[in-house]
Amino acid sequence: MQPLLLGAGIVMVLTALVHSAVGEVLIFRQLRRDGIIPTQGSPLLRERHVRILWASWHLVSILGWALAAILIAIALAPATPLPNAWLLKVGIAASLAGSALVLFATRGRHPGWFSLLVAAILAWLGSAGL
């Protein structure tokens, strides 16, 4: 077992869970009249924009859970150099790029950049064993 990779996977699971839950409470609750999909926009955001924003928001969480599942599966599997090493490099690069994007876009005010960075560092440190 690779505890650092397992830690990276757990960080990703928690990040995705918080992302969806907090987004629903802080953003989409105010845009929802009835039903699960928010439809209330403004002159700037029409209903179709709000719908795709909501879907894209939760797509990020789904992809975060997918990356977490890959990290956890690699952490719990016997060490094999390929394709695990390649998958880890892709996951680390995606997490680092996501961290940089959120840091830049929010000027560091959104905590997501930090959790993505922590996951990337844990995965990078854990990848040394593969």
| Coil, helix or strand at residue 105 | helix
Per-residue model confidence as pLDDT tens digits over 9-68:
999 999 999 999 999 999 898 888 888 888 888 878 888 888 999 999 999 999 999 999
* Burial label, 18 (beta-carbon count in 10 A; 0-12, 13-18, 19+): middle
Task: Pick left, alpha or beta for residue 46 (phi over 0 → left; psi -120 to 50 → alpha; otherwise beta).
Answer: beta
Average pLDDT in the chain: 89
- Sequence-ordered list of residues with C-beta below 8 angstroms from that of 37, at least 6 positions apart, any chain: 51, 54
Q: What is d(CA 6, CA 9) in angstroms, rounded to the nearest whole number? A: 5
pLDDT, residue 18, reads 95
Average the pLDDT over each of 40-49, 79-88, 89-98, 110-119 and give the range with the smallest value. 79-88
Residue 85 DSSP symbol: H
- What residue type is 13 in one-letter code? V
Is the pLDDT assigned to residue 7 strictly greater than 80?
Answer: yes
Q: What is d(CA 112, CA 118) in angstroms, rounded to the nearest whole number? A: 10
Model pTM score: 0.82
